[in-house]
Amino acid sequence: YALLTNPDVETELRALRDKTIGRLLSYDPKQRADLLQTLEMFLEQHGNHNQTASKLSVHRNTLFYRMNRIAEITGLDLDQPDVRLAVHLSLKIHRLLGE
C-alpha cells in the first residue's frame, strides 16, 4: 500500500486504473449494473464462481452474464494471471484514490 499511496506515482497509478477498468468505471454508474462490485467480489473469492455468486446472493447464471459483460466492456481476459493482477491493483488504486 505504500507504493499505491505514494503521490510521486499517482499519475502512473491513474493511468493503470484507467487502462484496465476505466471503461467499466464509466459504464457502471450510467447503467446501474453493479459490475464493479461483481468484479471486486470475484477477485476477492479468487475467481471462484460459486463463492462469488453466493456472496453476491445471485444465481450462477447471473454471475456468468455479469462476468461476460465485464469482459465485453473492458476487453480483458480475466483467465490470464497478469491481467487479473492488474485489475485487482486497479480496483485497489480506485478505492485508495476515492474517486
Render pLDDT for 64-83 as a digit per residue (tens, 0 to 9): 999 999 999 999 999 999 99
For the stretch 28-68, pLDDT in tens is 878 887 899 999 999 999 999 999 999 999 999 999 999 99
User: What per-residue confidence (pLDDT) applies to 1?
Assistant: 63
How is residue 93 written as a grid cell? 488504486
pLDDT one-digit tens code per residue, 11-20: 888 899 999 9
What are the tens digits of pLDDT across the range 84-93? 999 999 999 8
pLDDT at residue 4 is higher than 70: no
Place of cell 488504486: 93
pLDDT of residue 57: 97
CA distances for 23 relative to 2, 64, 70, 99, angstroms: 26, 19, 9, 14
Determine the Cα–Cα distance for residues 70 and 78; give it in Å rounded to an integer.
9
Instruction: Please say whether the beta carbons of 63 and 52 come within 8 A.
Output: yes
